[in-house]
Chain A
Amino acid sequence: MHDSGEVNIPIGPQHPALKEPESFLITLRGEKITAVNIKIGYNHRGIEKACEERTYIQDLYLIERICGICSHSHSTCFAQAVEEIAALEVPVRALYIRSLIGELERIHSHLLWLGVAGHEIGFDTLLMYTWRDREVVMDLLALLTGNRVNYGINTIGGVRRDISEEQIKEVKGAMDILEERTKYYVDIAEGEATLSKRLSGVGVLSYDDALRLGAVGPTARASGVERDVRKDDPYAAYAELDFKVITDKHADVYGRTLVRLKELMESYKIVRQIIKDLPEGPIVIKAPRKIPAGEALSRYEAPRGEDAHYVLANGTERPERVKVRAPTLANIQAVTHMLKDRYLADMPIVIAAIDPCFSCADRLVSVDGPGLKRKKTMTWEALRLFGIEWHKKQGIDISSLNKKISRMIK
C-alpha cells in the first residue's frame, strides 16, 4: 500500500477470474481503478516457429491447436491461405461443410462466453444453464467431425469427412432446441434486473474509440462498427448465404451480450440454410505436397473477431514463414481504455467481455529499426548457457544437477 492510499492488486498470472495465465496489474484507489498494466506473453508456445519445421499438412493440425475454442477458425484460415498460394479450386460442398462447422463452432463459443460472463458477475445459474445447452452443439460437432474440440475436419484442398442425410436431420433437431433456449436467454438478458444493472454502462467503448483502437468482432459490432469478414470479404460459402451483421448501439458490456445472443440466432439461420442448400459433389481435391513459392494473407471471422493468417511459401513442402494474428490481440488494446475509472468489480466482466483467448494471442513480436535498441539473436547453445547462468543467479545450479543425472544414468 502506498501513502497516497493507492493499492496495487495483481490480477493474474494466476487468478480465479482468468481462465488462462496473463497478468493485469491494477492500481486501486478505494474501489476505483486508476491504472491498468497489462502484460501478455505467458502463453507463448513458439507455434509459428514450429510451423516452419513441419510440412503443410502437419502444420494444419498444429495450427488447429492454437486455440481450444476456435480451432476450426485457425485451421480454415491457414488452409485458405495455402490453397490461395497453390491456386487450388476447393469443391463447393467442402466450402459449405467448412461454413457449417464454423457456424457450429460460433454457437458453442458464444454459449460458452455467455456462461463465463455469468460466472464473472457471480450469476452461476446462467453458467450452469448455458453450459448444459452447449453440450447439444458439442455432441453435434462430435457427431459430424468425430471430435468435440479439435475437429480435424479440414485438409488442404477441402474437408476430410462428408455429411450424411441422417446427420443433417440431427443438426436440424438440435437447431430447434438451441433456438428455443437462446430465446429464453434473450428474455433473461432483457428482463433480469441485477444482470442489466451489472452490465449496462460498464466497459464503454465508443464508435470512434472502437475504430481508433482497432477492435474486431462482437466487441467492435457492439459499438456500432459494422465489421464482419463474412460480409466484407466473403470466404467459404458465406457469399451465397443470407444473414445480417448484428450491431448494437449500447457500446458497453450489455451491448456485447446482446450482440452475441443475436448472433446466435443468426447462426441458427445460417446453419439451416447450409443444410438446406448443401450442394452435391466431391469434398476434396488433391493438393500437391510441395506448395509453389508465393505468399497469401487469409482472413476469417472467428467467434471472437477477425482472425488473420499470413503464409509465405518457398516452393518446398514446408512454409518459409507463418504469421497468426488472433482476434484477442486486436481487442486487448481496448481493455485498458474500457477499465479507466471503473470499479474493481467491473474488471472481470470487462476483460471477459472481449472474450479473450490469451493462448491464441501470445505471439513474439520483435520491433527493430533505427532509434530502437537492437535485439540480439541467440543460437540454441548460447540460449542454453544463458539459461544455466540465469538459474545459477537464482541459486539453482542446473549444471551440477545435470552432471549428477548423467552420472546416475551411466
Chain B
Amino acid sequence: MAKALFNILIFPGFLFLFVLGLAVEYLDRKLYAKFQNRIGPRWYQPAADFIKLLGKEDMVPQEADAAVFKLMPAFALAANITAFLYIPIWEKKSLFSFGGDVIVVLYLLTLPTLTYFLGGWYSRSVYAMLGAVRSLTQLFAYEVPLFTCILASALLANTWSLEGMALFYSAHPGYWLFNLTGFAVSLVSLLGKLEKVPFDIPEAETEIVAGSFTEYGGRFLAFFRMSMNIELTVGAGLLAAVFLPFGLDLAPAFVFSLFIIKVVFIIGAVSLVRSIMARLRLDQMINLCWKYFAPLAFLQVLINLLAKWVLIR
C-alpha cells in the first residue's frame, strides 16, 4: 500500500513527473529560443510561470458550464499521469505492466485532447468553441497514422505490451531499424497531438486567440499547461520505448539515463521541427495526414509483416 502510494505520488508518479514536465518545458523553450537566435528562459522560468499562474484569480465565465470548466484540467492531468505509469523507465517493464498496456497508453493519451475539446466547448466563447472543434477535427487526422505506426512496431514483436516489445527488441538487436518510417511518422503525428507548430491549428494565436484555452486562467490554466508538458514527456517516452528499444539490458541506472537521453533527443527533434516550419491550415493538415502519413503508416505495417514472415518464421 505504502509502496503503491509512493509510486503514484512520488516516483515515477506525480512529483517526479511534475519536475520532469517542468524540465521538458524548459528544454523545449530553450532549444526553440536557441534555434531562433534568442537567449531563451532561465532554468527556473517554467516553475516560476507555474507558481505565478497558481497565484492568479480563478475566473469562470458566466456562460460557461462551471463544473466541466473546472474539472477538465484535472482530468487532463490525471489521464497523462496515469499514462506515464505504464511507460518503462528503468527496466524492460513498467510499474503496472500487463499484456495490452500499449493500447491503454494510447487510449489515455487520447483523453487529454477530449478534455481540451470539452473545456473549450463549455467555455462558451466563439474562439474557444472554434478551437475545440479544431482540436477534435485534428484528432481524427493524426490519430490514425500514430496508432498504426505504434501498433506496427507491436505487430513485429507479436505482443500488445511494452514489456513484450522491450524483450523482443532486446533479443533481436537491430530489428528496431525496421520501424524508422513509423518513427518519423509518429514523431510528426505527435506534434499534432501536442498541438505544436506546424499543427498548432487549434490554438492558432493570430486566428482564434488561444483556442480552447481562451477563457482559462489562473489555476486551471496552470494545470492545463502542466498536463501538456507531461503529455509531451509521456509522448516522447512512449516513442522512446516503442521505436528506440536499445540498451535495455544495462543496469537500471544506465537504462534510466538512456531513457532521459532518448526523451531529450525526441524533444530536440520536436523543437527543431516547430522552429523551421509555418503553421499549416486545417484542410492542409488533414490532407497531409490522410494522403501521406496514413499510407506511410500502412507501408510500415506492410514492411513489418514482410519482415516477420521472412525473418521470424
Mark A residues whose CB is within 8 Å of B. Answer: 7-10, 15-17, 28, 31, 118-126, 128-129, 132, 192, 194-195, 197-198, 343-348
From A9, A120, A121, A345, contact of B282 by CB (8 A) = A345
The answer to whether A118 and B278 have CB atoms under 8 Å apart is yes
How far is B196's CA from A124's CA once the two chains are assembled, in angstroms? 12
Task: Check B36–A17 contact: CB distance below 8 A.
Answer: no
Closest B residue to A348 by beta carbon equals: B206
Q: Given the interface contacts A197-B280, A345-B207, A347-B207, does A9 sit within 8 Å of B38 by beta carbon?
A: no
Verify if B37 is at the interface (C-beta below 8 Å from A): yes
Q: Say yes or no: A9-B130 contact (C-beta < 8 A), given A17-B206, A122-B204.
A: yes
Q: How far is the CA of A343 from the CA of B283 in the complex (A)?
A: 9
CB-CB nearest in chain B for A11:
B207
Choose from B35, B206, B277 the contact partner of A194 (Cβ within 8 Å). Answer: B277
- How far is the CB of B285 from the nearest CB of chain A, in Å? 10
Given A7-B130, A345-B207: A198 and B36 within 8 A (CB)?
A: no
| B197 surroundings in chain A (CB, below 8 A) | 122-124
Q: Which residues of B contact A28 (CB under 8 A)?
A: 130
Find chain B residues with CB under 8 A from A16 CB: 205-206, 209
B207 and A344 within 8 A (CB): yes
Indicate the member of B197, B281, B282 with the most A CB atoms within 10 Å: B281
From A8, A120, A345, give the contact of B126 (CB < 8 A). Answer: A8
Residue contact B278 to A343, C-beta cutoff 8 Å = no
Complex A-B, nearest 8 residue pairs according to Cβ-Cβ distance, in ascending order? A122-B279, A123-B278, A17-B206, A128-B36, A348-B206, A194-B278, A345-B281, A121-B278
Contact assessment for B278 and A129 in the assembled complex, using a CB-CB cutoff below 8 Å: no
Residues on the B chain within 8 Å of A348, using CB: 206-207
Residues from chain A with Cβ under 8 Å of B35 in the complex = 125
Contact B282–A123 (Cβ < 8 Å) = no
Q: Chain B: which residue is nearest A198 at the CB level?
A: B278
Q: How far apart are the CA atoms of A255 and B51 in the complex, in Å?
A: 46
Over the window 266-291 of chain B, the binary record of Cβ atoms lying under 8 Å from chain A Cβ atoms (1 yes, 0 no) is 00000000011111111110000000
Expressed in whole angstroms, the Cα–Cα distance for A31 and B209 within the complex equals: 15
Question: Closest residue of chain A to B282, judged by CB?
Answer: A31
In the bound assembly, the distance between CA atoms of A16 and B197 in angstroms comes to 17
Report the Cα distance A122→B278, complex, angstroms. Answer: 5
Which of A9, A123, A347 is close to B127, meaning CB atoms less than 8 Å apart? A9
Contact of A122 among B127, B206, B208 (CB under 8 A): B206
Q: B275 to chain A: which residues have CB within 8 Å? A: 124-125
- The docked-state distance in angstroms from the alpha carbon of A347 to that of B129 is 18
B198: interface (CB < 8 Å): yes
The reply to whether the CB of B81 lies closer than 8 angstroms to some CB of chain A is no
Q: Nearest chain A CB to B301's CB is how many angstroms away?
A: 27
Interface size on B, residues (CB 8 A): 28
Residues of A within 8 A of B127 (CB): 9
The distance in angstroms between the C-alpha atoms of A346 and B283, with both chains bound, is: 12
A119 touching B206, Cβ below 8 Å:
yes
Chain B residues near A195: list those with CB within 8 A.
278
Q: 8 A-B contacts, Cβ less than 8 Å apart?
A: A7-B126, A122-B206, A123-B197, A126-B278, A194-B278, A197-B280, A345-B204, A345-B279
CB distance from A1 to the nearest CB of B (A): 8
Q: Describe A's contact surface by its main secondary structure.
A: helix
A198 CA / B206 CA spacing, docked (Å):
14
Contact of B37 among A8, A123, A132 (CB under 8 A): A132
B143 at interface (Cβ–Cβ under 8 A)?
Answer: no
Q: How far is the CA of A240 from the CA of B146 in the complex (A)?
A: 62
CB pair A121–B38 under 8 Å, yes or no, is: no
Decide if B279 touches A198 in the complex (CB within 8 Å).
yes
Chain B residues, Cβ within 8 Å of A345: 201, 204, 207, 279, 281-282
Chain A residue nearest in CB terms to B278: A123
Query: Smallest distance from the beta carbon of B42 to chain A beta carbons, Å?
Result: 19
Nearest opposing residue in chain A for B36, CB measure: A128
Q: Within the assembled complex, what's the spacing in Å between the Cα atoms of A284 and B35?
A: 48
A120 & B36 in contact (Cβ 8 Å cutoff): no
Q: Which residues of A lie under 8 Å from residue B205 when comparing CB positions?
A: 16-17, 122
Query: Considering the chains assembled together, what is the distance between the CA atoms of A198 and B198 in angstroms?
Result: 11
Output the least CB separation between A133 and chain B (Å).
Answer: 10
Q: Does B25 contact A (CB under 8 A)?
A: no
- Given A194-B277, A198-B279, 10 other A-B residues pairs in contact with their CB atoms under 8 A: A8-B126, A31-B283, A121-B278, A122-B204, A122-B205, A123-B197, A128-B36, A128-B37, A197-B278, A198-B281
- Give the shortest distance, in Å, between A71 (CB) and chain B (any CB): 26
State whether B36 touches A343 (Cβ < 8 A).
no
A15 and B209 within 8 A (CB): yes
> Does B200 touch A at the CB level, under 8 Å?
yes
| Cβ contacts under 8 Å, B208 to chain A | 9, 344
Residue in chain B with minimal CB distance to A195? B278
Q: Which residue of the partner chain A has the closest CB to B210?
A: A16
Centre residue among B200, B206, B281 by max chain A CB count within 10 A: B206
A17 touching B277, Cβ below 8 Å:
no
Bound together, the chains give a CA A343 to CA B37 distance in angstroms of 32
State A325–B282 Cα separation when bound (angstroms).
Answer: 38
A220 CB to closest chain B CB (Å) equals 25
A343 to chain B: closest CB distance in Å? 6
Taken together as a complex, chains A and B put the C-alpha atoms of A8 and B127 apart, in Å, by 10
Contact status A121-B126, CB under 8 Å: no
CB distance from A270 to the nearest CB of B (A): 28
- Cβ of B36: which chain A residues have Cβ within 8 Å of it? 124-125, 128-129
Is B198 in contact with A122, judged by CB distance below 8 angstroms?
A: yes
For A17, what are the chain B residues with a Cβ–Cβ distance below 8 Å?
Answer: 205-207
A318 to chain B, nearest CB (A): 43
B137 to chain A, nearest CB (A): 9
* Contacting residues of chain B (71-85) with chain A, CB-CB under 8 angstroms: none
A129 to B200, CA, bound (A): 21
Chain B residue contacts of A120, Cβ below 8 A: 206
Measured CA separation A374–B200 after assembly (Å): 51
- Mark contacts of B121-162 with chain A using CB atoms, 8 A cut-off: 1 yes-contact digit, 0 otherwise: 000001101100000000000000000000000000000000
What is the CA–CA distance of A192 and B130 in the complex, to the nearest angstrom?
28
